[in-house]
Amino acid sequence: MLMGFNSAGLRLVRTLAALCLSFLAGATAQAAPLKIMAFGDSLFAGYGLSSDADNIPSRLEAGLKADGHDVKMINAAVSGDTTTDGLARLDWSLADKPDLVLLELGANDALRGQDPDKAKANLDQILSRLKAANIPVVLCGMIAPRNLGSAYGAKFDPMYKDLSDKYQIPLYPFILDGVALDPALNQGDGMHPNKDGAAIVAKRLLPVVEKALPAAKAS
């Protein structure tokens, strides 16, 4: 027993100490940067780029920090992933406990001519799980290659808007807006942005993500 303290005094000291620790823990949690997870395929993974600093998520993180936002980008993109692959790895990816998810999947489903209804169902399940986990989402859309025919595009292209409306989440309609089909902004395969193209995508996506930050903080 400490000299000069009776049992009531010791209880008071312990209570005050517990309150101080709780306050410090809360202050530390508030000071932690917002974690944004880029959950997608090669477009987010930075396929073909010589430096990770040049990929879309890294450029986006730099832009957000330049605007005064305390954020940490988690790049959880895997080149070649379809919506089926993304759904399969979602749960363990969420072990990083993101405050916001940028969902960018579907391009590889279209490139392989897979059923748009299946892709939509997979994205629906991903969004449902994120909603259940109370994690805000920015959905990044894609447009089907036109060599697959108008019927395929008519089923594939609208699914992002449909899902955005269903879950009431922000939509960036076409992730390659301003970059697609421009040889100066793409690598030799004509599909993946080069460093200049990635910078344009990040710049255009930036205001959409910024608008989603209040919801991420609230969650």
Rounded distance, CA 75 to CA 187, Å? 21
- Our answer to whether residue 69 is catalytic in this structure is no
- Our answer to whether residue 189 is catalytic in this structure is yes
- Our answer to whether residue 219 is catalytic in this structure is no
Q: Name the catalytic one among 7, 50, 150, 189.
A: 189
**The two three-digit tokens of residue 196, written as one number:** 């200049």
Identity at 8, one-letter amino acid code: A
Q: Name the catalytic one among 41, 81, 109, 192.
A: 192
Q: Name the catalytic one among 41, 42, 54, 109.
A: 42
Rounded distance, CA 54 to CA 74, Å? 15
Task: Provide the annotated active-site residues.
Answer: 42, 189, 192
